[in-house]
Amino acid sequence: MALLHNRVSQKELKELLYQETDPRTTISFYHYFPIEDPQTFRDELYKGLHTLKVFGRIYVANEGINAQISVPSGNYGALQAYLYSIPCLDGIRLNIAVDDDGKSFWVLKIKVRPKIVADGIEDPSFDMRNKGKYVTAERMNELLQDPDTIVVDMRNHYEFEVGHFETAVEVPSDTFREQLPMAVDMLKDQREKNIVMYCTGGIRCEKASAYMLHNGFDNVFHLEGGIINYAKQIREKGLESKFIGKNFVFDNRMGERITEDVIAKCHQCGQPADVHVNCANDGCHLLFIQCPACAEKYQGTCSDACHHMIQLPEEEQKAARRGVEKVVHTFNKSRSRLRPRLNELNKEED
């Protein structure tokens, strides 16, 4: 039977990745199309990509595919040929990472999910085929100068915080499923405007554009290929970047620098910073922004309490973690939850 799952430990795989001498290219792609049997599609895809030494995270569902991967650069042509040999993926846009060290992934994981983007949409009449118009980088820049345009960021706060388009509207929610009805409500009195949705690679804003049309908006657009493709186009065409700062990405890099602007602040001292880290305390792993000075002071932890914890012997740390519901401490990403969480951790030490 052909290999359909990884059998090597994560630690070993990460070590093997850093031993590689050949460069890798990080790529993202997605496509909404009907898949009758996602499990069979998943298994065949795994065999094909494993042969090409592809690493990454891919979700497959009845509604399509969503992928973030890396491939040995010498295998890029073979990867493209393989994907294009799958009828529904023939000609699919492959977004190549902007700021890439090739160390974004170290294992291939392909999972079957109910949807490739959790959206909370239960209306059976919703149709992804009725979606907004694609916008190129050049057209995006034009629309940004139009007073009748509203640009809507369909990403989470921790993504928006480190980089966004000038004048973009943030939809302040923790999840995409919450953002969709919230965006409709926020813009209900602006139906005559041009509504331009954008996101990281295009998958969320494409669905958001369809949802806005489904809810009675007429002039709806979405940025083709998201911020990743926008950055590629402005570089190739010599256009001015209207996106400022970093583009948060969901891999080991946690960000691609689009412009040199640092628009966020360290969550500990308030100095300009836009590097996301996960707290080094294994009982926390809070995602937050930390400047170099605080990284040195707190040794990569988010608080005095967590800094104290990592000084303890490993057995004492494990004992302290027993019975603690870790999910409460993990990825509290919204603006409303992050600061209270940091305050809570510091109070634990007092």
Per-residue pLDDT of the chain (350 residues; tens, 9 = 90+): 345 666 656 666 555 555 566 788 888 899 999 999 999 999 999 999 999 999 989 999 999 999 999 899 999 999 999 999 999 999 999 988 776 666 678 789 999 999 998 889 989 899 888 999 999 999 999 999 999 999 999 998 889 999 999 899 999 887 899 999 999 999 999 988 999 999 988 899 999 999 999 999 999 999 998 998 999 899 999 999 999 999 988 767 778 899 999 999 999 999 999 999 999 998 888 999 999 999 999 999 999 989 999 998 888 888 877 765 544 333 344 444 444 444 444 444 44
Q: What is the pLDDT of residue 323?
A: 61
Q: Which two tokens stand for residue 210?
A: 């369809």
What's the pLDDT at 346? 47
* Spatial strand order in the sheet of 64-72: 95-96, 24-32, 64-72, 55-61, 108-112
Rounded Cα–Cα distance for residues 223 and 27 (Å): 18
Amino acid at 112: V
Residue 118 has a pLDDT of 87
Query: What are the chain's domains?
Result: 10-112 (3.30.70.100), 133-237 (3.40.250.10), 276-349 (no CATH)
Residues 201/222, Cβ–Cβ less than 8 Å:
no
Residue 207 CB contacts under 8 Å (≥ 6 apart), including other chains: 32, 117, 119, 128, 131
209, 203 in Cβ contact below 8 A? Answer: no
pLDDT for the residue 145: 93
pLDDT of residue 64: 93
CA distances from 68 to 54, 65, 110, 145, 193 (A): 10, 10, 10, 32, 33
Catalytic residue IDs: 199
Which pTM does this prediction carry? Answer: 0.76
Q: How confident is the model at residue 129, as a pLDDT? A: 86
Q: What is the pLDDT of residue 106?
A: 76
